[in-house]
Chain A
Amino acid sequence: MKWTKWACGLVAAAMLAAGCGGPEPAAPTDGPQGELVVYTSQPEKDVQQLIEAYNKVYPQVKVVTFRSGTEEVISKVMAEKKVGAVQADVLLVADVSTFEGLKGEGLLAPYESPELKAIDAAYYDAEHMYVGTKAMATGLMINTEKIGDRPTRWTDLLSPAYAGQLVMPSPLYSGAAAYNLGVILQQDTLGWGWYEGLKANRIKVEKGNGAVQKAVQSGEKAVGIVVDYLAHRAKAAGAPVEFIYPQEGSLVITEPIGIVAGTPHRKAAESFVDFILSKEGQEVTARIGYTPIRKDVAPPQGYRSVDELHALPADIGRMVRERAADKEQFARLFQA
């Protein structure tokens, strides 16, 4: 029957269209090539800009990304590890303590990029398992139309003036927030007492940093605890907001990158790490709107440079050990 053949042909064509999005890359030459799977918590748009810049230098590598909140990305990797089929080649997620956890699980492979020379040793792992790619400071984003007195310190948030006006991301979803939780709990002046005070001040706990940004820029809340770049970008888009670096110090994460142990695409993975750390890659990072990790690349307008960021100190080992328990206690405190 003619029409059955015709229908089968159509099905096959549709399956092909669903299976592969476009033509395969052109003929191979030297340099890394193939497919590279990157799991990341970076915003969609930023990842694409980064990949586009990378592909200008390494056109033979096809980068595929999976994006979600850090905690979900990690859950996915761990689940894949359990069934023995880790699909990621490179991980690019929020913070050092997450990577310490991955290192402990034996998920990372060491790689000493030649670009490390230009980066302060404080920002990469001594065993070269991971290296920071940018500096992101968490501070206070305020809505200038909603706020009376501007807060200057973390402890100012406990003032009754801000009751019902506060919002923060949940450490159960956001890796940055989970890291911040760990750092704050190690500060003598803050700790659980501070979180209890925030709760008493009826702080709203949103899922991610993006939701906090939305709440502050739309005027729903007056003060949000949020990553600097979101506030700077909202301001650039015309929103009535300012970013405040608290006097006690900021919560700085470096969004490290690491190569997955046993990846079959080692060459491509190395080239990706090299590119992000290179002067060129860091310039792209600055252009997208982050503080570069390299000192020889200037930060975007309005941002503090990596040296000017006054980071609150923390013991990473302790943080990794206590992370799960801290998150559980946070869930009990705010979900009850």
Chain B
Amino acid sequence: MSKRSRRIAVGAAVAAVTVWCFILPLWQLAVMSVTNADGQLTLAAMQSLIAEERTQRATWNTIVIAVVSTAMAMVIGLYLAWLIAYTNIRHKRWLTVLTLAPYVIPSYVIAIAWGDLLSLHGGVNRILTWCGIGPVDLYSLWGIIWTMGWCHVPLVFLFSVTMLRKIPREWEWAARLAGCSRRRSFFVITLPHILPALLGGGMLAFLAAVDNFSIPALLGISSGVPVLSTYIYEKAIGFGPAAFHDAAILSVVLAVLVLIAAWVQQRILRTSRISDSMWEDARPRVEFRPAVRRCFEGSALVVLGTGMMIPLVALVMNAATTYYGAPWRPENMTAEHFVTVLTNDGIRRAALTSVGLAAATALICLAVGTWVAVRQRDGRDVTVRFLEQAASLTYALPGIVLALAIIFHWGTMRGVYGTVYILLIAYVTRYLILQIKGSQAALAAIAPAQEEAAAVAGASRRTRWRRILLPMMASQMGASAFFIAISASTELTLSSLLAGANVRTIGLAIFGLQQGGEYSLADAVSALLVAAIAGGYLLWRAGGAWISRRVK
């Protein structure tokens, strides 16, 4: 085969796979939303469903929750980002790890933890009632907003911290020289320049909030606060000839909402005057006196303690008490729930399934994503670019929408629906873009001169990869793969619709225990899951350090 015809063949194969795996499912979902049970084209169902009071309430709730929780995440995220990026406070590394914790701890665990902390008759609520504020019911619209706000702090934080560091300190100096106070220079120089990044991060938080299924599922279904994602879930698992069509219609509503938001986000980011190539200046710009510094360190600790640590402590305490709601006294402590969970066959199998799925998903994404990134670097390959865009679409769309699309597309195939493979397909479809982006960034960071030098020295393509490219890319590629593995192992949204009777992920196991009223057991599994994630993170760090030592 000539080089040219081989390239065309590969291009055609990529295009075919892209259409089959990424485009067709979404197309079928769209078709489903405008047809009736007999397969006839109609908009009547869409009109009547959208006119329903419950649909409008779910849409309204979705928007309110997303807007308010995003505002909350932006305030907290920006404050923490400013502290970490600009000030001379100590323990930045640990504060960063704590801030980013909700990025890897699944939101259903955070929702359960907050539910434990704010249980209606619990200590915190007693104090709040005594102060005249409470009692606070987390199982409400405001509870969902509060929990989601904390979960999305890392998104705003990550965006802002990089941008803050990229703003040249000379700009601020210029403002100071022109007579601005430090506070005024923050509002005149810093804030306007990070505004695109802040809004960009905010839009990400908004998208994540619209996408989020687990928090409203745990806090909103029983208390009658529907949002679009849980409403789609209820429709899809409900019985009746129109159930899937209704779910498809709601999915289209949700998808439109998300695509508008994603478009706005892209527009905002484009207005930024801080370019990617600017240097990140991590040195502190605001030097506090020790006493003031301690105050700011304390404030960070209070914020992170309230948001991240105390709920997790409540989670562990509730898992370790004899019955749910028992006062936290020594005589009420027991390891019974942990023992039950660790010896339960169903939960053990769920954990194995999740770990296997996570490893398979991460490895497939690693292979395919890196291949895509390399092909893009080596030449202008239109079909690969098409694959990348399709993969961004399946990531941007809410998980519950993607899950429904995958049911329609793969559901009819024997040996796929109801097995673990449909989950693997769904996870790869959803997470592939993360690895493509990660591998692209890893490749971009390598100066072509290094590879060329090796080529001039006579190294074959294989040797160049093994000795030059892979070692230099490993850490960045590994970071993406690690994040994919963590996300896949704790996934709930896709599995809630796609898992069959015989397949259960750890997320579903926790969700099932919580729904079945076995709160102490749900707490115990959640606590163990957090421990496993922390362990995985430390192991990954240690592994990374080991590899970088060997490369050097």
**Complex Cα–Cα for A4 and B421 (A):** 22
B359 touches A7 (CB 8 A): no
Cβ of A332 under 8 Å from chain B: no
Say which residue of A10, A75, A85, A206 sits within 8 Å of B363 (CB atoms). Answer: A10
Stretch at the interface among B436-444, B514-522, B540-548: B514-522
Specify the main secondary structure of chain B where it touches its partner: helix
Given A18-B424, A68-B515, do A237 and B501 touch, yes or no (CB 8 Å)? no
- Please indicate the chain B residues that have their CB under 8 angstroms from the CB of A302 in the complex: none
- Please indicate the chain B residues that have their CB under 8 angstroms from the CB of A48 in the complex: 344-346
Say which residue of A43, A75, A220, A335 sits within 8 Å of B237 (CB atoms). Answer: A75
Shortest Cβ distance from residue A183 to the other chain B in the assembled complex, whole angstroms: 22
Interface range on chain B (Cβ under 8 Å from partner) = 35 or more
A sample of 9 cross-chain residue pairs with beta-carbon separation below 8 angstroms, ordered by A number, consists of A7-B363, A15-B360, A17-B352, A37-B502, A48-B344, A69-B516, A85-B418, A215-B120, A239-B325
Within 8 A of A (CB), among B323-342: 323-326, 332, 340
Shortest Cβ distance from residue A91 to the other chain B in the assembled complex, whole angstroms: 12
A239 touches B517 (CB 8 A): no
A17 touches B355 (CB 8 A): yes
Interface bits A226-247 vs B (CB < 8 Å: 1, else 0): 0000100010011100000000
B356 touches A14 (CB 8 A): yes
Within 8 A of A (CB), among B477-520: 500-502, 512-513, 515-519
A238 touches B326 (CB 8 A): yes
Cβ of B306 under 8 Å from chain A: no
B324 touches A214 (CB 8 A): yes
Given A37-B502, A64-B501, do A19 and B420 touch, yes or no (CB 8 Å)? yes
Given A7-B367, A68-B512, do A213 and B517 touch, yes or no (CB 8 Å)? yes
A17 touches B359 (CB 8 A): yes
Interface bits B342-368 vs A (CB < 8 Å: 1, else 0): 001111110011011101100110110
Say which residue of B352, B364, B501, B521 sits within 8 Å of A45 (CB atoms). Answer: B521
Interface range on chain A (Cβ under 8 Å from partner) = 35 or more
Cβ of A152 under 8 Å from chain B: no
Known: A45-B340, A69-B515. 19 other contacts (CB 8 A): A3-B466, A10-B359, A17-B352, A17-B355, A18-B360, A21-B352, A39-B501, A44-B346, A44-B518, A67-B512, A75-B238, A76-B501, A85-B418, A207-B515, A210-B516, A210-B518, A220-B119, A220-B121, A239-B323
Show the binding face of A for B, using Cβ within 8 Å: 1, 3-4, 7, 10-11, 14-19, 21-22, 37, 39, 43-45, 47-48, 51, 64-69, 72, 74-76, 78-79, 85, 87-88, 206-215, 217-220, 230, 234, 237-239, 335
B516 touches A43 (CB 8 A): yes
B239 touches A37 (CB 8 A): no
- Please indicate the chain B residues that have their CB under 8 angstroms from the CB of A85 in the complex: 418
- Please indicate the chain B residues that have their CB under 8 angstroms from the CB of A87 in the complex: 418, 500-502
B367 touches A37 (CB 8 A): no
- Please indicate the chain B residues that have their CB under 8 angstroms from the CB of A209 in the complex: 517
Cβ of B224 under 8 Å from chain A: yes
Cβ of B221 under 8 Å from chain A: yes
Say which residue of A18, A44, A217 sits within 8 Å of B353 (CB atoms). Answer: A18
Shortest Cβ distance from residue B128 to the other chain A in the assembled complex, whole angstroms: 14
In this complex, the member of B325, B419, B466 whose beta carbon has the largest number of chain A beta carbons within 10 angstroms is: B325
- Please indicate the chain B residues that have their CB under 8 angstroms from the CB of A10 in the complex: 359, 363
Shortest Cβ distance from residue A325 to the other chain B in the assembled complex, whole angstroms: 16
**Complex Cα–Cα for A78 and B243 (A):** 13
Cβ of B450 under 8 Å from chain A: no
